[in-house]
Amino acid sequence: MILHGYQFFVIDHLWELAPTVDQFFKSLVDIYPPKSNFDEFQDMLSIATAKWKYAQQLADELGWEGDFVGEPRVFCLPDPKGMTIDYGFVFKQYNNGMTYVISPIYLDYIAEFENVQYKRLITD
């Protein structure tokens, strides 16, 4: 898994359009009901849990203090390599309102902003 992390100052509006991390995990249960195919459900839940854990680790390396303004959110993007939909995470910290975007896809339009910190995390 490769994750790209960005820290920058403030996205303040329209957070409510993206599902929360909690809503996302609940949707996994609806989409992949454990009773119908437990192995598929377990795989999807395991991948999502690991991605969320690594997203927080990467944000921590970028200076995240471990708290949230509002709830962390999930966003989806088409993957240009596999023509699938992939997902990442976005959240703000309370102290100084810094925004963290953790994406499986490199987002050059964010990386090019002034005063953006960027880090990449490769696992497995």
Using CA atoms in the order 58, 68, 75, 17, what is the torsion angle rounded to 10 degrees? -170
Location of structure tokens 């994406």: 103
Q: What is the pLDDT of residues 75-115, one digit of tens each?
A: 999 988 888 999 999 999 998 889 999 999 999 999 988 89
Kindly report the pTM of this predicted structure: 0.92
Q: What is the pLDDT of residues 5-56, one digit of tens each?
A: 999 987 888 888 999 999 999 998 888 887 888 888 889 899 999 999 999 9
Map residue 96 onto helix, strand or coil.
Answer: coil
Interatomic CA distance for residues 118 and 8, integer angstroms: 9
